[in-house]
Amino acid sequence: MAATSELDRVSMIVLRYMRRPIFVLILVYAVGITGMALIPGKSADGDTEFMSLFHAFYFFTYTATTTGFGEIPSEFTDEQRLWAVFCLYMGVIAWLYAIGSIIGLIRNTHFVQALSEYRFSKVVKQISEPFFIICGFGDTGSLLARGLSDHHFVGVIIDRDPERIKALSLRDYNIKMPGLCGDSSAPRHLVDAGVKHPQCKAVIALTGDEDVNLKIAVMARFMNPDVHIICRSTSPKHEEHLAPLHNVTIINPFEIFAQLLSMAITAPRLHNLNSWLVRAKGVRLGRPLKAPGDNWILCGYGRMGKWLRQYMKLNAIEPLVIDPNLDKDQETSCFIKGYADHGTLERAGLTNARGIVAGTDSDSDNLNIMMSAQVVNPTVFTIVRQNHHENQLAFDSARADLIVQTSLTTGRRILKHLISPQIQQLIDYLYEQGEHITGEVSEQLSSIIGDNKPHLWCVTLDRPHALAAADLFQQGCKLVLRNLLRHPSDRDESLACMPLVIIRDGQSRMLPSLNEMVFMDDCILLCGTEKSEQLLGSTLNNSYTLHYLITGEEKARGYFFLLLEEKRERSQNRST
């Protein structure tokens, strides 16, 4: 329906813009053809004759286009030639006017926008696989689109900036990502993007304006009560508005980083595992960060600083806060009002501090704080906040222990929700179990995957995704997880993957044993390599491979071999 309305809009603009040029052309053609047909001419014999309407139309057509094939059907009289001269100038002027109008129509912003919306809605309407709507194609949206592409999921993108949408077509994604330049909070653009499409799995609000994100969430909920909504928000007021909405996930990058830093302090192995699973740059299993457990300095007490202080206090850490915008009632021994310059940092005890956070909303101020910290106390644990992606090279050169990029933090957490929502349940489970269990899991993953990048994916044991396994369950056979994860070419080897979670009847089974039975409709979260996902997919949909992995015997294929197998079974039955 959206595509039809956009087509109507395009047609309306074309008709409105080209109405006058079309009328001019019709009028000029009518006058020229009528005059040519009414003016008498002479035949080769000298008799008076009149040109037919067809010949008049044919003559005027090539005259108006300045082609000039000649005089038909016989030589013209002076009156006819005079009228032909008039038709020539009149037709050329009319066509120049019409062509100019066509060029103006093509350059008309409303026409271009309507045409792009029609093409966009048509492409979205033809999507036959699950997809996600990304509202906002800034740093976070770009990172999320890359992650979806790596997992072969379609992202439908809306952004106000035409340059970002143009850049979208130049990205080397594994799968086509349709994009529209427009207001993502406008209901008609959300409809064009497929918010009512049966394959739409989530609407993700990632614009730079949190009021717009709230509006997107509300509009999407009214238009599709069941679609999952993911909204980036750092405002408590907006979170209160979003909380009553059904099936809404609120992503606060500052709270998420505060949780991660708290994890790095209290559970460094788990923090290392979590960072490795999301492919954080430079992270290797078995090499956790050594974040200090006391004596911290927080430079900046905005949204990020308040969350960090809240989680530090939960771990019995009272940081010293430096900020120029503190209230008078906050000026205590734990707060210093002023800018975090070199002198203020020395007075705050930077020489003896064990950790410092440069968390202001200015990249230059944060880099200056890092420079002072590395000069005064080279051994201090440094965390720096990066606000703008274009300053990446400068922050890489700062050699901080942790770089806070809100876009990266947000993108990774959203990708977790979309691709493998069970992974966060596993992280929470490991946090409760303790660092010893986390260390064992890390060692297993390291031995299985090695130096390869971790790849997370979910497998559902149902007929659409695992045809061979579904047939096996239907026959009443049992299937052990170990057999499922054998290598299809050699059952004595295992695939380079490890099961992390099994979802069965809405219940999560963490870190399942390879000897555990699996059943129909089980959803298994695995971590391994991309190649292992391909091999497992072929196993689940090939009854011959699955039979070999379970029994160790090659199942006969083809008519001839099936005949031999049947003959062998008959001979065995007779002998018994």
Q: Looking at this protein, which amino acid is placed at residue 175?
A: I
Quote the CA–CA distance of 364 and 398 in Å, as a whole number: 12
| Fold: same for 2-110 and 261-419 | no
Provide the strand spans (E) within 228-325: 228-232, 248-251, 296-299, 320-323
Domain ranges of the chain: 2-110, 127-251, 261-419, 451-558
127-251 CATH fold: Rossmann fold (3.40.50)
Backbone phi and psi for residue 455, each to the nearest 5 degrees, phi listed first: -130, 120
Q: Could you tell me which residues come within 8 angstroms of residue 201 by beta carbon, excluding any fewer than 6 positions away? A: 130, 131, 132, 227, 228, 418
Q: How far is CA 109 from CA 3, 97, 112, 117, 145, in A?
A: 19, 20, 5, 12, 27
- CATH number of the 451-558 domain: 3.30.70.1450
- What topology does CATH give the domain 2-110? Helix Hairpins (1.10.287)
Q: Specify whether the CB–CB gap between 223 and 190 falls below 8 A.
A: yes
- Residue range 261-419, CATH number: 3.40.50.720
Model pTM score: 0.78
Query: What are the residues whose beta carbons fall under 8 Å from the beta carbon of 250, sequence distance 6 or more?
Result: 231, 233, 239, 242, 243
Q: How far apart are CA 437 and CA 434, in angstroms?
A: 6
Q: What is the DSSP string of 418-462?
A: HH-THHHHHHHHHHHH-HHHHHHHHHHHHHHHTTSPPEEEEEE-S
Query: How far, in Å, are 443, 492, 539, 543, 553 from residue 547 at the CA level?
Result: 31, 14, 9, 6, 7
Q: Please identify every stretch of the chain with a pLDDT value under 70, giving residue numbers as ranges.
A: 1-10, 15, 44, 65-73, 328-332, 555-576
Could you give the CA distance from residue 261 to residue 357 in angstroms, rounded to a whole number?
Answer: 11
Q: Tokens for 197, please give them.
A: 């499409």
Q: CA 140, CA 407: separation in Å to the nearest integer?
A: 4
pLDDT of residue 2: 47
